[in-house]
Amino acid sequence: MQNILFKFNDDFKLDIEAYINKNYMHNIPLEQFAALTGRSLSTFKRDFQSIFGMTPNKWLIKKRLDLAYYLITTKGKKPSDVFIEAGFVNFSHFSKSFKAEFGINPSEL
């Protein structure tokens, strides 16, 4: 009876790729992303790596920076308005990461 009632399988797991692509701009800890997709943290990281080919932290930063670049260059938004919308906590971290990724400060665009 225990095996029937407590059988946890992939049916309870959300599709990581679809979920993360829809919610990457929210500043949520990885533990919460894991729980929201029905996985432990280690399983989430392992599944994420196999889908995206990089760690969740690296992918999230890259995706958020790409969104910020798009919002600044295409939508004409100010970097000081974009960093929160893209999922960064503070402007200095955003600016430093942006320069490392694109070779220029976001204010230079």
pLDDT tens-digit map of 53-78: 999 999 999 999 999 999 999 999 99
pLDDT tens-digit map of 29-59: 999 999 999 999 999 999 999 999 999 999 9
Helix axes 56-73, 41-52, angle to 10 degrees: 60
Q: How far is CA 60 from CA 47, 52, 66, 108, in A?
A: 15, 11, 10, 23
pLDDT of residue 69: 98
Look up the pTM and report it.
Answer: 0.84
- Asked whether 48 and 37 are in contact (CB, 8 A), the reply is no
Which segments of 1-109 does DSSP mark as H helices, in order? Answer: 2-5, 16-23, 30-36, 41-52, 56-73, 79-85, 91-102
Is pLDDT above 80 for 8?
A: no
Q: Name residue, tokens 């999922």.
A: 87
CA atoms within 13 A on the CB side of 59: 17
pLDDT of residue 2: 45
Cβ neighbour number for residue 5 with a 10 Å cutoff: 6
